[in-house]
């Protein structure tokens, strides 16, 4: 009799533990989908950097995610964000979460962030009345470009992304080039 009770308790414990782990994986997958969405929309570099770091951590943890957990996370995401479809990037990263550790994917996403930032700055500049205010936005953009290019993208192998950043700078009236120290 006691053996039966002990086995029943152990069975319940292990079953609950397995369910808890599955919910945890599903929750982390949902967080990954939300984080990718934020990465695609933010124009604040500090938020982009911290969210990318968080997504990278989640991507490593979720490298062996099951199809069932992917579908469960998508269901939860659509329940919370019923007006949003998953983006191409969300789909791609959901299929291969550990791809976030690829430096070229990071460079592409950071460059897309910069393009989005510049789009917003161009709109702001167009609505400003004083030259001083316009110059502050231009300076802010130049400083961000330096941060991006001297940080994660500070390598000659990212030339194609440098070119895009320079084109964005030129679109708001900043001319320049990139000097490589290597």
Q: How many degrees, rounded to 5, is the angle at CA 93 between CA 43 and CA 22?
A: 115
Same domain as 167, residue 80: no
Global model pTM greater than 0.95? no
The pLDDT score that the predictor gives to residue 173 is: 85
The pLDDT score that the predictor gives to residue 59 is: 94
Residue 159 is encoded by which pair of tokens? 């030339």
* CA-based torsion, 58, 60, 61, 62: positive or negative: positive
Q: Tell me which residue has tokens 């700078």.
A: 169
Asked whether the beta carbons of 128 and 144 are under 8 A apart, the reply is: no
The whole-angstrom separation of Cα 122 and Cα 156 is 28
Asked whether the beta carbons of 113 and 143 are under 8 A apart, the reply is: no
The whole-angstrom separation of Cα 148 and Cα 82 is 34
Asked whether the beta carbons of 114 and 148 are under 8 A apart, the reply is: yes
Give average pLDDT by consecutive 10-residue segment, the chain, 182 residues. Answer: 53 46 77 95 96 95 90 91 91 93 93 96 94 94 92 87 93 72 50
Same domain as 65, residue 34: yes
The number of distinct structural domains making up the chain is: 2
Show the domain range for 12: 2-101
Same domain as 95, residue 42: yes
Same domain as 167, residue 97: no
CB neighbourhood size of 43 (10 A): 15
Same domain as 113, residue 97: no
E strand or H helix at 93: helix 88-95
The pLDDT score that the predictor gives to residue 17 is: 43
Same domain as 88, residue 17: yes
């Amino acid at each position: 009799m006691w053996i039966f009770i002990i086995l029943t308790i152990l069975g319940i414990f292990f079953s609950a533990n397995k369910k808890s782990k599955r919910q945890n994986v599903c929750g982390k997958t949902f967080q990954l989908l939300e984080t990718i969405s934020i990465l695609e929309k933010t124009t604040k570099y500090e938020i982009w950097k911290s969210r990318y770091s968080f997504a990278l951590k989640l991507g490593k943890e979720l490298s062996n995610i099951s199809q069932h957990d992917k579908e469960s996370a998508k269901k939860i995401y659509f329940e919370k964000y019923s007006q949003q479809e998953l983006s191409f990037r969300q789909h791609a990263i959901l299929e291969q979460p550990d791809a976030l550790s690829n430096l070229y994917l990071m460079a592409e996403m950071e460059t897309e962030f910069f393009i989005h930032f510049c789009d917003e700055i161009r709109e702001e500049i167009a609505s400003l009345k004083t030259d001083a205010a316009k110059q502050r936005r231009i300076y802010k953009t130049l400083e961000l470009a330096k941060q991006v290019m001297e940080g994660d993208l500070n390598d000659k192998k990212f030339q194609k992304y440098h070119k895009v950043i320079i084109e964005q700078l030129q679109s708001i009236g900043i001319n320049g080039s990139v000097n490589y120290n290597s």
